[in-house]
Amino acid sequence: MHPTAANQPIYDAIGHDYATHRQEDPSLFQEILNALAGAQTIVNVGAGAGSYEPRDRTVLAVEPSEVMARQRRAGSLPAIRATADHIPLHDGSVDAAMTVLSLHHWGQHQRAGILEMRRVARERVVIVTIDPRVSGQMWLMKDYLQEVAALDDEIFPLPEMICEWLGGKAEVKVIPTRRDITDGMLLSFWAHPERVMSPGARAATSGFARQPAHVVERVVDAIQRDLADGSWDQRYGALRALTELDAGLRLITAQLK
């Protein structure tokens, strides 16, 4: 389905500076490559600017947002403008289907999208997502941005549910979020409270970008104040010594045959 004005993708509004702040992270990329194993033909659903796509295989990208599709790297195939629930490919036409941090944007079509990934892939389906029960415990969501924790509970399907949609034969792997992760997803903020003060960094996360201005202002003011008077460090200073944390990132792999 080609997106219409009625379902104008959210990323057309928030994706303008995405590629600057959301650089592919080498360690997460390696996990995804391992999960894709020998797949030579891959469809990347909700592909965005093309992060985490193997460069040495044939990758088809499915991406509804024009703004995101335009940020794909030079030399990659143009994205197929469609949504996950109607992947315009024949049954079993690729070795693997992958999706990275996109499933929570599929609304009521999450199950349909996963079934589509199963339909078009011959061998495996690889999904990177977030367990909202874990991300909701991160200091940012727990103490400042409860709106995002509440929204995440609604929009992120639980890993168990995803496994069920995948046919019950999937594995879930915990992917710790490293302090030095180069992909500025909202979970990366666990180690970088100062990042909340950057409008660009905030705007590249759908968590912040979806909040009304007064909520963002409240959170920025509170964190700025708590950093300045030392209360953030009193409560969370121990985090500054950690190199990684389980902030909720999950890699789900289903072997289809």
Ligand X SMILES: C[S@@+](CC[C@H](N)C(=O)[O-])C[C@H]1O[C@@H](n2cnc3c(N)ncnc32)[C@H](O)[C@@H]1O
The residues binding ligand X (CB under 6 A) are 9, 11, 22, 45-49, 51-52, 63-65, 68, 83-84, 100-102, 105-106, 109
Using a 10 angstrom Cβ sphere, with 0-12 exposed, 13-18 middle and 19 or more buried, the burial of residue 243 is exposed
Determine the residue with CB nearest ligand X. 48
Return the number of the residue (23 or 137) whose C-beta is nearest ligand X.
23
CB of 227 to ligand X, least distance (A): 27
Closer CB to ligand X, 14 or 232, in the complex:
14
Cβ at position 39, least distance to ligand X in Å: 17
Half-sphere exposure of 169 (CA within 13 A, CB side): 9
Question: In terms of CB distance, is 135 or 226 closer to ligand X?
Answer: 135
In this structure, the dihedral spanned by the alpha carbons of residues 243, 27, 167 and 105, taken in order and rounded to 10 degrees, is 80
CB of 105 or CB of 118, closer to ligand X: 105
Q: How far is the CB of 121 from ligand X (least distance, A)?
A: 15
Strands 177-178 and 170-174: unpaired
Closer residue to ligand X, CB minimum distance, 36 or 101: 101
CA nearest to 35, candidates 161, 172, 178, 185: 172
Between residues 101 and 121, which has the closer beta carbon with respect to ligand X?
A: 101
The minimum distance between CB 12 and ligand X, in angstroms, equals: 8
How many angstroms separate the CA atoms of 127 and 45, rounded?
Answer: 10
**What is the C-alpha to C-alpha distance for residues 94 and 107, in angstroms, rounded to an integer?**
25
The Cα 117–Cα 136 span in angstroms is 28
Between 140 and 232, name the residue whose CB sits nearer to ligand X: 140
| CB 46 to ligand X: min, Å | 3
Least distance from ligand X to the Cβ atom of residue 185, Å: 7
Element (H, E) at 114: helix 110-120
Contact 104, 159 (CB under 8 A): no
User: Cβ of residue 41: shortest distance to ligand X, in angstroms?
Assistant: 18
- List b or e across 224-234, with b for residues whose CB sees 16 or more CB atoms inside 10 angstroms: eebeeeeebee
